[in-house]
Copies of this chain bind each other. A is one copy, B any other.
Amino acid sequence: MDVNEVLRRYRFLTRSKLLRYLPARQPARYLYDLLPTYPLQGGKALRPALCLATCQAYGKSAEKALPAAVALELLHNAFLVHDDIADAAVLRRGRPALHAAHGVAVALNAGDALAVFSIRPLLDGGLGRLSRPVLEEFLLLARETLEGQAMELGWIRDNSAAVTVAEYLAMVAKKTSWYTVAAPCRIGALIGSGGRADVARFTPFALYLGAAFQIGDDLLGMAQHRGPDNDLCEGKRTLMLIHLLDHATAPERARLMRFLGLTIQARRSEPVEWIVDLMDQRGSIDFARRSLVGFADAAAAAFEPAFGDLPRSEHRDFLEALVRLFAART
């Protein structure tokens, strides 16, 4: 099975339908022209894929879950627009961030509109009597994500030197595990089972896979530390940074906290190579790599309780293969 090929297929299916939910209305220049920008720029569409594959693993067609997959992807793009404002990001997928191209005010408003439009597919009849429980899942996933996001943004704002690995994992449980894995699986299972699935079963699988995914993202961000939007300049409390703050010498730690205490604009004109080197020397990168493997292994073990009682199918196989794909991100 070519996991990436299946991911592409799900993405194509989702994106084709998604564009129909972004109307060509007025005001075009200040609102509607902006809305397809991020959805058209790529991204793996991982959340729709998880939702559609889980629905299929439960024996229903992908079309049944397509409205929910489209809603997930629209909301995701709304979050990306607001995240880029919050992070003062310069680029998104190699092109100017929406607020960089159109100003913060107009972009913030466009993000709000994407969020509002994300509800529409859930109400358009495709989900039938499951419209309401899926909407409830949506509100829950939005809450979890915003709570995780608040933790991360608050730590950056306060330049917190005391974030623990446990706090990091509590944040990841919300803004990655719930948002990216648990909610898409729960929604796919609800639709695939006609509302009968016990959706709590996905929680351990999602926790581990989400943690593996986030740590992979942290590592990837560190490998791209030469870009303007790297995690170090953004002050992100990555697993490596938390480990380093715990294992650096006092002078190293003081220098690190001085760097993190600068404004984001000032951090962007400072060298960061020494931090990456220090992470390497103090074993922080190795710690993150080993953590990723550990969480990926745990996710693989949690696959059976989550999906094991479903009949074997290419869809179940795809979900299982995704775990290996994430583990390979080291």
Residues on A lying within 8 angstroms of B by beta carbon are 25-27, 29-31, 82, 85-87, 102-106, 108-110, 112-113, 115-117, 119-120, 123, 132, 135-136, 139, 142-143, 146-147, 149-151, 153-154, 156-157
Known: A30-B150, A115-B115, A143-B113. Is A85-B108 also a contact (CB below 8 A)? yes
A267 to chain B, nearest CB (A): 15
Is there contact, CB below 8 Å, between A151 and B27? Answer: yes
User: Which 4 pairs across A and B sit closest by C-beta, in order of nearness?
Assistant: A30-B154, A86-B105, A31-B150, A30-B150
Chain B residues whose CB sits within 8 angstroms of the CB of A103 once the complex forms: 153, 157
Question: In angstroms, how far is the closest chain B Cβ from the Cβ of A191?
Answer: 19
The answer to whether B123 touches A135, judged by C-beta atoms less than 8 angstroms apart, is yes
For A149, give its contact among B109, B142, B153, B157 (CB under 8 Å).
B109
Of the candidates B29, B87, B102, B110, the one whose C-beta lies within 8 Å of that of A105 is: B87
Residue in contact with A116 in the complex, picked from B102, B132, B139, CB distance below 8 Å: B139
Asked if A146 meets B116 with Cβ closer than 8 Å, knowing A106-B154, A108-B85, A153-B109, the reply is yes
Q: How near does chain B come to A179, taking the closest CB pair, in angstroms?
A: 13
Determine whether the beta carbon of A109 is less than 8 Å from that of B142: no
Q: In the complex, what residues of B have CB within 8 A of residue A150's CB?
A: 27, 30-31, 106, 109-110, 113
In angstroms, Cα B151 to Cα A138, docked, is: 29
Q: A25, A105, A132 — which one has the most chain B CB atoms within 10 A of its CB?
A: A105
Please indicate the chain B residues that have their CB under 8 angstroms from the CB of A85 in the complex: 104-105, 108
**Bound-complex Cα distance A234 to B251 (A):** 46
Q: How far is the CB of A98 from chain B (nearest CB, A)?
A: 13
Q: A87-B105, A120-B139, A139-B120 are in contact. Are A113 and B146 (CB under 8 A)?
A: yes
Kindly report which residue of chain B lies nearest to residue A167, judged by CB atoms.
Answer: B27
Select one of B26, B31, B105, B157 contacting A156, CB under 8 A.
B105
Closest to A85 in B: B108
Q: What residues of chain B lie closer than 8 Å to A153, measured between beta carbons?
A: 30, 103, 105-106, 109
| CB-based contact B112/A146 at 8 Å | yes
Q: In the assembly, what is the distance between CA of A149 and CA of B108, in Å?
A: 11
Give the residue of B109, B143, B156 whose beta carbon is less than 8 angstroms from that of A82.
B109
Instruction: Report A239 CB to chain B, min CB distance, Å.
Output: 19
Q: How far is the CA of A157 from the CA of B149 in the complex (A)?
A: 28
Give chain B residues whose Cβ lies under 8 Å from the Cβ of A117: 143
A149 CB contacts on chain B under 8 angstroms: 109
Ordered by A's residue number, 22 sampled pairs between the chains whose C-beta atoms are within 8 Å are: A27-B147, A30-B151, A30-B157, A31-B146, A31-B147, A82-B109, A85-B104, A85-B108, A87-B105, A103-B153, A103-B157, A105-B156, A106-B150, A106-B153, A106-B157, A112-B146, A113-B143, A113-B150, A115-B115, A117-B143, A119-B139, A120-B139
Identity of the chain B residue whose Cβ is nearest the Cβ of A86 in the assembled complex: B105
- With A103-B157, A120-B139, A154-B30 already in contact, the answer to whether A147 and B112 are too (CB < 8 A) is no
In the bound complex, residues from chain B placing their C-beta under 8 Å from that of A113 are: 143, 146, 150
A268 vs B232: C-alpha distance when bound (angstroms): 34
Could you say which residues of chain B place their CB within 8 Å of the CB of A123?
A: 132, 135-136, 139
